[in-house]
């Protein structure tokens, strides 16, 4: 079937209050009202899990989890979210055991999976991979005269990680009651960290949010993103140490130096232990500040911090499942 250019839908179209059938590629698809709606459903999912454990709204639906990069939280929380909603999951986490090891391309793999599954979650080392995959699915399905199978970006290289940023903002809202006017410090590998790229964009939707960037000199926030944030009117500050601005931030978002993005292990070793949050660091922060981390941590936060009330990273990870339950139910039309 021939599809005219004008008949093609936008692969990463605005959510506009309705997630049904949408791909989730970038946080830029969301407006503030979409977030409010998503977080309402997320809170419902949390209650549902606490009261009943699971439900059957996605019975008969199947998620294909396609991970070309390592994952614990994203993979497990999407899988378990799907199961708690009554759906089923097919995992392709060790791509070394799939046809990828024979040289199959990403577009071919997702064209095939779109014939089997109702929704696909993809993690891939290349920026833009989910968009490319969504285009391949769209063409295949259009050729068959069928509606596209939604795909959710679970991290595309140094690009974005939208579901992580959604759960991060949900956590900030839960812990701080509101987001407008907060000062958020982003710490660590701001160059390669896709979670901070998505989070900074989402936070720019709120009023009066100030961002403080703390990164080793070789790993700053990408310039094009800083320009984008500037154009959106976000106030930004660069600091070189946590101590320097310890009393300034309401939210501390610590990240790991992304070892897998470095060309040599020597280059990684030069910066890998640039920051470590200890109980003494926390003592200098605002008493009501919260400390977040997308995890995994590899030394950026000392375990002694875990017991402090400011440490919310495990609760943040738990919220990931509720947000992903809401996203899966949404794209499959069950809100």
Residues that bind ligand NCD (CB under 6 A): 73-74, 155, 161, 164, 194-195, 255-256, 258, 294-295
Which C-beta is closer to ligand NCD: that of 164 or that of 204?
A: 164
**Are the C-beta atoms of 249 and 289 separated by less than 8 Å?**
yes
Tokens of 3: 């599809």
Query: What b/e sequence results for 198-223 when a residue is b if at least 16 CB atoms lie within 10 Å of its CB, and e otherwise?
Result: bbbbbbbbbeebbbbbbbbeebbbee
112 or 318: whose CB is closer to ligand NCD?
318
Min CB(10)–ligand NCD separation in Å: 25
Return the closest-CA partner of residue 228 out of 258, 255, 251, 197. Answer: 197
| Under 8 Å between Cβ of 124 and 152 | no
Q: Which is nearer to ligand NCD, 57 or 313 (CB)?
A: 313
Chain centre to alpha carbon of residue 217: 25
Nearer to ligand NCD, 23 or 195 (CB): 195
d(CA 158, CA 191): 8
In whole angstroms, the minimum distance from the beta carbon of 247 to ligand NCD comes to 27
In angstroms, how far is CA 201 from the centroid of its own chain?
12
Distance CA 34, CA 17 (A): 5
Please say which residue, 242 or 295, places its beta carbon nearer to ligand NCD: 295
Give the residue with the Cβ less far from ligand NCD, 194 or 272.
194
Distance of CA 11 to the CA centre of its chain: 18
User: For residue 208, what are the contacts with CB-CB under 8 A and spacing of at least 6?
Assistant: 180, 181, 235
CB nearer ligand NCD, residue 61 or residue 201:
201
**Cβ of residue 181: shortest distance to ligand NCD, in angstroms?**
27
Quick one: how far is CA 21 from the chain centroid? 19
Nearest approach, Cβ of residue 126 and ligand NCD (Å) = 14
Q: Which tokens belong to 250?
A: 């309401």
- Min dist CB 312 to ligand NCD, Å, is 14
At its nearest, how many Å lie between ligand NCD and the CB of residue 311? 16
Q: Nearest distance from residue 69's CB to ligand NCD, in Å?
A: 7
């Amino acid at each position: 079937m021939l599809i005219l250019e004008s008949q093609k839908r936008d692969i990463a179209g605005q959510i506009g209050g309705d997630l049904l059938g949408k791909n989730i590629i970038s946080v830029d698809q969301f407006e503030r009202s979409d977030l409010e709606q998503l977080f309402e459903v997320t809170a419902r999912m949390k209650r549902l899990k606490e009261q009943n454990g699971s439900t059957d709204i996605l019975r008969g639906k199947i998620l294909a989890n396609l991970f070309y990069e390592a994952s614990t939280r994203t993979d497990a929380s999407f899988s378990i979210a799907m199961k708690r909603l009554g759906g089923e999951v097919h995992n392709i986490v060790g791509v070394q055991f799939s046809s990828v090891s024979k040289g199959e391309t990403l577009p071919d793999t997702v064209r095939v999976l779109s014939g089997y599954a109702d929704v696909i979650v993809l993690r891939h080392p290349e920026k833009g991979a989910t968009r490319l995959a969504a285009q391949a699915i769209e063409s295949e399905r259009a050729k068959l005269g069928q509606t596209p199978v939604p795909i959710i970006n679970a991290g595309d290289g140094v690009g974005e990680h939208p579901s992580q940023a959604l759960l991060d903002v949900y956590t900030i809202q839960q812990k701080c009651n509101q987001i407008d006017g907060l000062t958020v410090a982003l710490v660590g590998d701001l160059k390669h960290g896709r979670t901070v790229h998505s989070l900074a964009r989402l936070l720019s939707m709120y009023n009066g949010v100030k961002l403080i960037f703390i990164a080793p000199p070789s790993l700053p926030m990408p310039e094009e993103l800083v320009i984008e944030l500037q154009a959106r009117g976000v106030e930004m500050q660069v600091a070189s140490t946590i101590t320097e601005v310890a009393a300034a931030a309401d939210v501390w978002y610590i990240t790991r130096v992304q070892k897998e993005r470095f060309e040599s292990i020597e280059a990684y070793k030069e910066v890998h232990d640039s920051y470590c949050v200890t109980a003494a660091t926390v003592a200098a922060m605002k008493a009501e500040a919260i400390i977040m981390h997308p995890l995994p941590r590899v030394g950026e936060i000392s375990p002694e911090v875990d017991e402090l009330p400011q440490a919310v990273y495990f609760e943040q990870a738990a919220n990931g499942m509720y947000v992903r339950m809401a996203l899966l139910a949404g794209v499959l039309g069950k809100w």
